[in-house]
Amino acid sequence: MAIQTILTYPDRRLKQISLPVETMTEQIRSLITDLTDTFTAAPGCVGIAAPQIGVLQRVIIVDVTRSASKKAKKDSSIHGNLICINPQIVESQGSIMFREGCLSVPDFTGNVVRSQSVTVSFRDEKFEERTISADGFEAIVLQHEIDHLNGVLFLDNVRSFKRDVFRRVKYQ
């Protein structure tokens, strides 16, 4: 078990493009364990990407069942815990606006327009090829995490900083 420190904006590593994983190695297995541990330690966190813990490799984890928001999960596909290696959006449809947050941008949330549904192909933790279709909240989270692998934060996707970015309420 190894909870890693989450890099926060404007750390330059968050702006870099991550490399594809060629084969399953001990290093990738331990990266998946670290991501799982780090993500589990953050309450209500629904997704994490390897670059957020400083590893520039194309691995993300998404699990929308961890969200406390019933509203977010309504009309959303729910696949449970998805460990995605080299995820790729192969098809997308529609559009949906959602107020996003990110462990790497702790002080702000923002309205981002995403595809309503996506088909994603990836390799799972056994390095087997899988393709899933996701919509609603789960589709949004998948797009958000895949963006991290391309050095893109939700702040890069907002239309207007003035209208669509909000300071997070701080609890003392």
With CB atoms as reference, the residue minimizing the distance to Zn ion is 102
The residues assigned a catalytic role are 145
Least distance to Zn ion, CB of residue 109, Å = 11
The nearer residue to Zn ion, 86 or 109, going by C-beta atoms, is 109
Nearest approach, Cβ of 14 to Zn ion (angstroms)?
9
Which residue matches tokens 């002080």?
Answer: 107
Site string for Zn ion, 70-109 (x = CB under 5 A): --------------------------------x-------
Task: State in angstroms the smallest separation of the CB of 49 from Zn ion.
Answer: 7
Residue at token pair 């989450």: 6
Q: Cα-flanking dihedrals φ and ψ of residue 56, to 5°?
A: -90, 65
Q: Strand 59-62 vs strand 108-114: parallel, antiparallel, or unpaired?
A: unpaired
What single-letter amino acid sits at 166?
A: F
Cβ–Cβ < 8 Å for 127, 160: no
**131 vs 168, beta carbon nearer Zn ion:** 168
SS (H, E, C) 78-124: CCCCEEEEEEEEEEEECCEEEEECCCCCCCEEEEEEECCEEEEEEEC
Question: In terms of CB distance, is 11 or 24 closer to Zn ion?
Answer: 11
- Smallest distance from the beta carbon of 126 to Zn ion, in angstroms? 26
**DSSP letter (8 states) at residue 118:** E
- The site for Zn ion, by CB under 5 A, has a size of 1
- Are 50 and 16 in contact by the 8 Å Cβ rule? The answer is no
Task: Closer to Zn ion by CB, 20 or 106: give it.
Answer: 106
Q: For binding to Zn ion (CB under 5 A), which residues are involved?
A: 102
